[in-house]
Chain A
Amino acid sequence: MTRVLATYNIKGGVGKTSAAVNLAFLAVRDGRARALLWDLDPQGASTYLFRIKPKVKGGGRKLVRGKSDIHGLIRGTDHEGLDLLPADFSYRHMDLALDATKRPTRRLARVLAPLAGDYDYVFLDCPPSISLVSESVFEAADALLVPLIPATLSSRTFERLEQLVSGEPSGEPQVLAFFSMVDARKRLHREVMERLADEHPSLLRTAIPAAADVERMGLHRAVIGEFAPRSRAARAYEELWAEIGERLAPERRP
């Protein structure tokens, strides 16, 4: 069974891509599982990190219409078992491309259907927005992995999101939110985290620190587990992946 996990937040710059690539790397690290990361963000940060050309033959339009052979678009990364469906600049018009299809919110799930059985996990690295793309992601995903920066408004962000996904016709994706870019020295961060954990017991316990190593990923063009495997950030992602494994509903959809 393939689990589809989407890193998503309405806001940008919260650590979505970092979570997607590091968790995908951890998913395949011990050689037991296979994973695909689909870089849906036209900026192509994950694609860049994996040193892969941000180019999809036929562009996003052909892909969402089901006219591309998805197998031919996939690229292997440096990590065995981890493949990437690259970003393409045309993804910035993906909303329009989706809108032109029948049942647009089901399109992404349809595009992924031929890969069922090839992968244990599919990670969707989503662009920040509320749009047809995100609606389509909600339909395709078994779980949303939501990075939250501990700020006054993050509680509202979280509640908005739970509202958004509720009432999904094909069943709601699980919302697995976690704190990201946390600076434990800031009192505000500590207070917000404490309050939110009380209000929302479903929040994950693991927090990803705002560490220099996370920022250095772009420089190394590599995941943290590769260039700083013993760093605080690398360990935090390991804990996060373990916690996600425990929390993922065993069989979410019939």
Chain B
Amino acid sequence: MDSLGRDGAQYLLPAELADDAVSGALAPRFKLRDGRPLTTERTFYDTFDGRLHAADLVAVHAEGRLVLAHAETLTELAAAERPDAPERIFATELEGERLRELLEPLVEVRALLPIARTRSRVRRLGVLDDHAKTVVRLILEEPVARSGRSRVALSPRLIVAPVRGYDRALDRVRSALEARLGLVPAQQPLHDEAVAAAGGRPGGVRAKPELTLEPAERADRAAAAVLAQLLGVIEANVAGAVADLDSEFLHDLRVAVRRTRSVQRQLAGVFPPEPLGRFRAEFRWLQQVTGPARDLDVQLLEFDALRSALAQARAGEVEPLRGVLEERRLLAHRRAARALRSRRTSSLLESWAEFLEGLHELPEDDRPDAADPIGELAAGRIRAVHRRMVKLGRAIDDDSPPEALHDLRKKGKELRYLLELFGGLYARDAVKPMVGALKDLQDTLGRFQDREIQAQTLRERSAEVGARDDGAAALMAMGVLVELLERDQAAARSQFAERFAAFSSKPARALLERALA
């Protein structure tokens, strides 16, 4: 790739432009040196949710190399040798150290997947000065987007790349091309155009709904709009979850299902009790049937962190557990995939979409909240859930069973979804601190519960691990881990009071009240 630096440019070339138009536009001041035409194949990568796109980056495989570059200037940031264009890349498995360093924090556990493939005929031209020295590089590119068997010709591009130290020549070349040929800089990078041509969405599919609601909007319409977006997220993630491309497809799908159920519960009064009851049961089923697969994903994702809690010398001993978890995960995923591919799921999603579309036309006699302004209705729900949380939290003391904290956490999730989905209706600066305090509290509650589940998993898997040849040492290591987990759980519990106090403090409550008023 040629870096465009600060001042280079990419132009879209009109199809009717004559072959010698470019050289004509630059004559007589500059001559052109023609290079051999080449064919270049590129595969562009991004995560499903477009993390590289959001960071103005592009990852591309071409000519045996995987390159990370700045999306606009095409300046190469890091690269690694890679003979083939892989179907899936995990940052942790990358060869190039620099490449890994840059990508890991960005894409985390998400896989980089091919988002577009192009094949281009490329002609490289040197713009020469009086001494026949190259002072600007021109690249004429005729790209074709390839997706499966289909081929879509994209607009030809003229790339004007600088040669260091020859800025004046670059300015002159650009002005000549713009003035004489009327060229305008391309608005979209090549890979975005290729993604769009293949029917995709440049920037990927976001897992969070992005919706602007009006406080005065009818509650049933607002609810249907939010739920339709969540349904979109569910549908978009099904294929990736079935194919098990990375752990986040299933996770995002399940979060969207959970949010859907939360809206069904919290805004129940905008729906007719039937078929709402049936839909709720079906979404609960979808949530449950995919649960074990997600639990095992989490256990494996956390495995290395858990392992590193052990002393260096013992860390390896716990490895047999990984094998056991991986086997179980495979089975759980197969089960989840079967459910996601089933007729039951597809008809649920179809009928849910249909239901949402026609919701506002249904009779209102059994939908008491349907015509309420969403601003008021959601505020009421946020208040109620918040009040409930405060009540539950205050009842917790040192003698309360773990279930009390779990229940509080569940309510917290409910509140969080309400704030995420409907918080935009209220003053942002008042909602934000509430979200912050809630997040801190939820983190503590989450840590408390996660440690319990982790310890429980270790205990549950002990028979299986112990039955393996290398199981004895692993069991010992697991015993140490259980102890560490229990200690951390106790630490989370002791943190609870402080976090809850911040969440339920008088000023915090007043702020929320003001926001919702």
Contacts and interface: CB of A to CB of B under 8 A. Distances in A.
Interface stretch (B105-113, B126-134, B230-238, B507-515): B126-134
Interface string A29-66: 00110000000000000000011100000000000000
Interface in B1-33: 2
A80 B137 contact: yes
B65 A32 contact: yes
Contacts of B132: 51, 221
Interface in B72-118: 79
B134 A74 contact: no
A75 interface: yes
A99 interface: no
A120 to B, nearest CB: 11
A78 B133 contact: yes
A204 to B, nearest CB: 26
A50 B165 CA distance: 13
A72 B387 CA distance: 64
A74 B167 CA distance: 12
Nearest to B165: A75
A75 B166 contact: yes
B134 to A, nearest CB: 4
Interface in A76-114: 76-78, 80, 83
A151 B79 CA distance: 45
Interface string B137-178: 100000000000000000000000011111000000000000
Given A75-B165, A76-B165, A83-B164, A52 B133 contact: yes
Contacts of B133: 50-52, 78
A31 B163 CA distance: 15
Interface residues of B, number: 15
B166 A76 contact: yes
Given A50-B133, A51-B132, A51-B133, A80 B164 contact: no
Given A50-B133, A51-B132, A80 B166 contact: no
Interface in A18-32: 31-32
B5 to A, nearest CB: 10
Given A50-B133, A51-B132, A80-B2, A74 B65 contact: no
B163 A76 contact: yes
Contacts of B65: 32
Contacts of B63: 31
Contacts of A76: 134, 162-166
B128 to A, nearest CB: 9
Contacts of A72: 165
Nearest to B3: A80
How many A residues are at the interface, by size bracket? 10 to 19
Contacts of B2: 80
A221 B165 CA distance: 19
A78 B164 contact: no
A46 to B, nearest CB: 14
A50 B163 CA distance: 13
Nearest to B63: A31
Contacts of A73: 165
A83 B164 CA distance: 8
B101 to A, nearest CB: 13
A215 B166 CA distance: 29
Contacts of A51: 131-133
B131 A78 contact: no
Contacts of A50: 133
A78 B126 contact: yes
Nearest to B129: A51
A73 B131 CA distance: 19
A77 B135 CA distance: 8
A76 B165 CA distance: 6
Contacts of B79: 32
A78 B166 contact: no
A107 to B, nearest CB: 23
B137 A75 contact: no
Contacts of B134: 76-78
Nearest to B167: A72
A167 to B, nearest CB: 34
A80 B163 CA distance: 8
A218 to B, nearest CB: 14
A204 B494 CA distance: 70
Interface in B366-424: none
A83 B63 CA distance: 23
Contacts of A32: 65, 79
A83 B133 CA distance: 13
Contacts of A80: 2, 137
Interface in B232-273: none
A31 B137 CA distance: 15
Interface string A216-242: 000001000000000000000000000
A68 to B, nearest CB: 14
Nearest to A30: B63
B363 to A, nearest CB: 69
A34 to B, nearest CB: 9
A73 B164 CA distance: 9
Nearest to A51: B133
Interface in A150-174: none
A76 B131 CA distance: 14
A51 B163 CA distance: 13
Interface of A: 31-32, 50-52, 72-78, 80, 83, 221
Top 5 nearest A-B pairs (CB, nearest first) are: A75-B165, A76-B163, A51-B133, A76-B164, A78-B134
Given A32-B79, A51-B132, A78-B133, 10 more contacts: A31-B63, A32-B65, A50-B133, A51-B131, A73-B165, A74-B164, A75-B163, A75-B165, A76-B164, A76-B165
17 contacts: A31-B63, A50-B133, A51-B131, A51-B132, A51-B133, A73-B165, A74-B164, A74-B165, A75-B163, A75-B164, A76-B134, A76-B163, A76-B165, A76-B166, A80-B2, A80-B137, A83-B164
